[in-house]
Structure 1
Amino acid sequence: MKLFRHGSVGAEKPGILDRDGVRRDLSAHLPVLDGAALADGTLERIAAIDLSSLPVVPEGARLGAPLPRPVNFVCIGLNYADHAAETGAAIPKEPIIFIKAGSAYSGPFDDVVIPRGSTETDWEVELGVVIGREARYVAEADALDHVAGYCIVNDVSEREYQTRRGGTWDKGKGCPTFGPTGPYLVTRDEVPDPQALDLWCEIDGKRMQNGNTRTMIFGVRPLVSYVSQFIALMPGDIIATGTPPGVGMGIKPNPVFLRAGQTMKLGIAGLGEQMQRTVAAA
């Protein structure tokens, strides 16, 4: 299933994509699409609904992130060897974990706000893993049993804040709107192999990133297991699993960064596409 939420910010309603690609409103059967709905068998009940009986979502309706703001918005750094190389970083021996601020979480087509004083705002297309069952100290063999599905995440990053302003990466990763997510939560049954997905990003129509999840250093199974050793993952939480090469900071000899008035478009095979316009902070 491809699930989504539609409507204005803070008033999103659940929806589902039917077999013909028509967006249908699901709110008569599911008032809220959240972590609890992923954990209590609701998905199985939704699968039995005659989707043709559901009302069509109006054309042009806003699509929000597919779930409400997660308890834990976990990100993995430098998880593609070729991306680590383009940034001049060593390949990590263990996954690099950081937490993206909740206020960064935003819809897949909402504007991305370039922070005041920013000169190095960058793009990162990533596979997002959506947790469906609470995960604590999960064995790698059991990791996918705790996954509800997958989504697209744009891990927008301010590189100066991230690397040259002291402290951890978080200040360059957690600015408002720096986490566009969605448009769909694609359930695990539709993604037989999360390590075989093409992913890409374009800036103003120019292809900048082309990658495949098979080149991850740490795949989905080990990541879910690893993170669960340190963080109690809750239903509806998201793990953004890292980005392939082609980010702005990796362009040689002169890195390229975003400015107001540009368009980011990104996608992952089978998970849909998202697009954002960049705007200057007020």
Structure 2
Amino acid sequence: MIEAALVPFQFGFMQNAFLIAVIVSIPTALLSCFLVLKGWALMGDAVSHAVLPGIVLAYIAGIPLIVGAFIAGMLTAVATGYLAENSRIKQDTVMGVVFSGMFALGIVIYVSIQTNVHLDHILFGNMLGVEPQDLWTAGSVSVLVSAALILKWKDFLFHAFDPAQARVSGLSVNLLHYGLLGILSLTIVATLSATGLILAVGLLITPGAVAFLLVRSFAAMLLVAVIVCMGSMLAGVYLSFFLDSAPAPTIVLLLTLIFVLALVRKSLRTRRASATV
């Protein structure tokens, strides 16, 4: 039984999948805490879909795909913020229009060119086909994003709770706002080879939502989110080997299950507290 349980670790492609899972889990988990508190769940969804045309255009131009993805993500985020601030339309409506339009544009451009890059790998990821270059890219982005969030977590937290008070306190609200958008775009680039564009949303929201239900302090929330995300990713990759399923959807299903369990636990504790009052 022990030998059978260790079989997945004997293959190089599985080792790379486990490694990319560890690398990606840290920045996505940290960022998810800020997105949950700030109410930017739809923003993560919007940016993850909107980078598709940037990826396709980068392929046509012969430049690294991550460059096109980052530029498209930032343009989408900036355009969404500008339209929301300078029109009567609410931000969630603007995001819905912008990301659906960008995603449709990416699909139209993709089907109009000849490419050996399969669309499924872009949309849903290809963890079992991760190459050393992908590991280096994801690792570099992970270190950069994690360092920025850890060093400036108090400022980002203050801005998430009360932007007006943050401005009065002397913080650069615009820098924090667009800095967080830039971090979001970079994180999606890091997850591109692992979970793809669509399933990246699960990693950017669920770990923070689970931690929000389990703990009360933000520092503990960051730690719990990382543990939940990393554990789910490693377990999802491991289980996918025996279930003969794709790793990314398996990971998201595990995260969803953990969220449901955390929600049930929170509800039971709330009922007990109400009953004792």
TM-score normalised over the length of structure 2? 0.27
Q: Which protein has the larger Cα radius of gyration, Structure 1 or Structure 2?
A: 2
Which structure has more RCO (C-alpha within 8 Å, separation ≥ 6)?
A: 2
Where is the strand percentage greater, Structure 1 or Structure 2? 1
